[in-house]
Amino acid sequence: MSERKVLNKYYPPDFDPSKIPKLKLPKDRQYVVRLMAPFNMRCKTCGEYIYKGKKFNARKETVQNELYMGLPIFRFYIKCTRCLAEITFKTDPENTDYAMEHGATRNFQAEKLLEEEEKKIQREREEEELNNPMKVLENRTRDSKLEMEVLENLQELKELNQRQAQVDFEGMLSRHRELEESERQRQQEEDERETRDMLERALMKRLRDSDSDSDQERENGSAKPQKCSTDKPTDILTTNRPTDAKACPAPPPGGVKRPRVETWEKSVGGLGGRALGALVVRKKPTPPTAQPIQSGVSVPKVATSSSAAPSTATSHPVTALNGSSLSLLGAYTDSDDSE
């Protein structure tokens, strides 16, 4: 079975490669190759930036009459992506790089320019030392001074590193934490003090407001008529009630109230003189032997008028001579019970 892609050719036994005619191709012929831009460049025609790595279909040719140690140098032709202007660059085997040739400028080659400048200075120095021995001595003296300065700087850096190595970083961190904690406590104390001051000011303001309200109520209460707190329900029966604040005596110290004997006697006297006169009925006199004798009890004497009084309910009121109306009422009550 034959191969599908026919990679292996059949050569007959009588094959002679020298009999194959050679193609006559020009030496400067060009090939179309696919490549990427080897560096960043900018088109001189339109100013378009072409970054490194952009792919192009380029034409490749061999540079005539240029060799580097037997190695050929190749030239590449590409077109700008914006204005289609032709840009050319070629290989540089001496520096293992590419060299811009026509149509664009290379960007971001500061390192290369610096290297070229250093090489130029070194070349000039060697030419000066070759013809001037005094210049050689000056250059050596300058180099020695630079070397001493570099060593001194290096020694200073070593000492600085040693000092930093002896620093107790843990102690520094602990002191820093202590300072932070003290600062936090101080701020907390200040906040508490401010809060306490605010509460005290609010309390004082509230007290002042309450004092002003109580003063206002006191003024309003003084304008109203005062009512005696010692009035009793039975005081309504008295004829002469106190009409001013002076008639109401002040309560005794300690909050203990004493009985109002005078007021009660007055009320009972007034009641006995007027109201009880209509209720009390004069009884017929009884013989002295019929009255019970009680030891230690004094019977009040009742004075009657010279004229005979009718024994009806509409008799005149009885007046007490040697006792109060209350004692007279008790005497009449005892006489009813004895019957």
Distance CA 86, CA 45 (A): 10
Cβ proximity of 94 and 68 under 8 Å: yes
Phi, psi angles (nearest 5°) of residue 264: -65, -40
> What Cα–Cα distance (Å) separates residue 88 from each residue in 51, 52, 105, 305?
15, 15, 11, 168
Distance CA 303, CA 318 (A): 9
One DSSP character per residue, 233-266 reads: GGGGG-SS---SGGGSPPPPTTSPPPP-HHHHHH
Asked if residue 46 belongs to a known ligand binding site, the reply is yes
Task: Report the Cα 327 to chain-centroid distance in Å.
Answer: 87
Asked if residue 248 belongs to a known ligand binding site, the reply is no
Asked if residue 83 belongs to a known ligand binding site, the reply is yes
Computed from CA positions of residues 187, 192, 197, 201, in that sequence, does the dihedral angle turn out positive or negative?
Answer: positive
Task: Report the Cα 213 to chain-centroid distance in Å.
Answer: 39
Distance CA 196, CA 277 (A): 76
Distance CA 19, CA 9 (A): 18
Cβ proximity of 94 and 66 under 8 Å: no
Torsion of CA 120, 124, 127, 129, to 10 degrees: -130
Phi, psi angles (nearest 5°) of residue 165: -70, -30
Annotated binding site for Zn(2+): 43, 46, 80, 83
Annotated binding site: 43, 46, 80, 83
